[in-house]
Amino acid sequence: MTDTTDRIVLVTGGNRGIGRRVAEEFLRRGHRVAVTSRSGQGGPDGALTVRADVTDAASLDAAVGEVERELGDVGVLVANAGITRDRLVLRMTEDDFTAVVDTNLTGVFRTVKRVLKGQIRARWGRIILLSSVVGLYGSAGQVNYASAKAGLVGMARSLTREVGSRGITANVVAPGFIETDMTAELTDEQRARYLAAIPAGRFGSVEDVARVIAWLASDDAGYISGAVIPVDGGLGMGH
Ligand code: NDP
């Protein structure tokens, strides 16, 4: 099958880490790409960078409005922006919990809601949510993060049931340990423990994740929806 290459793609948090590499991969494949960043700068060359904070619906509305004016309705949404605020549960404050949920779960809801109307109108759309192996595997110190990431599975599956008949798919990508700023915060001991548990025997790269996301958005993956696709070297087997 020849893949359609003129999709309009929006990646949240596309200024660094996984999101930036995802944006580069879509550009490489010939798509028109916009990224959000909180500073309004820092997306890859060739992408439109717009300012948005996913915890603020008004800023997202303005950002997506700019993308629609400059490029057109968003066909492919990659909801990637996310944070961690790791603490053992007894030390985790309610603010630690709600801040992570507000960015990683409610922030995704806000973004999806803002782009969905255009996808319904077009009767075509791809919604790809960045979850984590931790959402289903669990992780000590990440009760907030794992709860939000698990919630994305219910979100993708409910979206699939609501809008699946409109040519829209909604899937979850669940990376394992990927080398980015987020994992650079972990201690050597935590890294060694993860490495020992990964059957592939190596950490993942941003390319590993970007290529799977680009494939999920391609014509070849048009009949996959409500799925959780692991990109974790086998770390979470059994999900
Ligand atoms: P990084 O920490 O490298 O980058 C996070 C991105 O999210 C940045 O662009 C950041 O923007 C953006 N962001 C954070 N908060 C907000 C906000 N409120 N509004 C808008 N943008 C925001 O993370 P990764 O690239 O490692 O992770 C990307 C996604 O993949 C996340 O959802 C993460 O949970 C998930 N993931 C990562 C794994 C890993 O091992 N790295 C494993 C599994 C899942 P800014 O530059 O402004 O801070």
Note the pLDDT tens digit of each residue in 204-231: 999 999 999 999 999 999 999 999 999 9
- If we measure between CA atoms, which residue out of 17, 195, 183 comes closest to residue 84? 183
Under 8 Å between Cβ of 135 and 174: yes
Three-state DSSP at 77 gives: strand
pLDDT tens, 63-74? 999 999 999 999
Question: Per the domain annotation, does 3 fall within a domain?
Answer: no
Q: Write the ipTM.
A: 0.99
Question: Per the domain annotation, does 186 fall within a domain?
Answer: yes
Q: Is there an atom of ligand 1 within 6 Å of 49 CB? A: no
pLDDT score, position 67 = 98
> Active-site residue 223, yes or no?
no
- At residue 238, does pLDDT exceed 90? no
Question: Per the domain annotation, does 154 fall within a domain?
Answer: yes
Confidence class of residue 3 from pLDDT cuts 50, 70 and 90? confident
- H helix or E strand, kind and range, residue 100: helix 94-101
Question: Per the domain annotation, does 229 fall within a domain?
Answer: no
Q: Read out DSSP for 23-39?
A: HHHHHHTT-EEEEEESS
pLDDT tens, 121-148? 999 999 999 999 999 999 999 999 999 9
Residue to mutate, 11, 15, 16, ligand 1, most ligand atoms under 8 Å from C-beta: 16
Q: Is there an atom of ligand 1 within 6 Å of 236 CB? A: no
Identify the active-site residue in 137, 145, 194, 223: 145
Confidence class of residue 239 from pLDDT cuts 50, 70 and 90? low
Three-state DSSP at 89 gives: coil
Question: Per the domain annotation, does 176 fall within a domain?
Answer: yes
Question: Per the domain annotation, does 230 fall within a domain?
Answer: no
Question: Per the domain annotation, does 233 fall within a domain?
Answer: no
Q: CATH code at 23?
A: 3.40.50.720
Question: Per the domain annotation, does 237 fall within a domain?
Answer: no
Question: What does the alpha-carbon distance between residue 72 and residue 119 come to, in Å, rounded to a whole number?
Answer: 11
Domain containing residue 59: 8-224
Around 142, how many Cα atoms within 13 Å sit in the side-chain half-sphere?
18
If one counts the domains in the chain, the total is 1
pLDDT score, position 4 = 84
- If we measure between CA atoms, which residue out of 117, 143, 112, 140 comes closest to residue 128? 112
Ligand 1 atom closest to Cα of residue 176: 42
Full-prediction pTM beyond 0.90?
A: yes
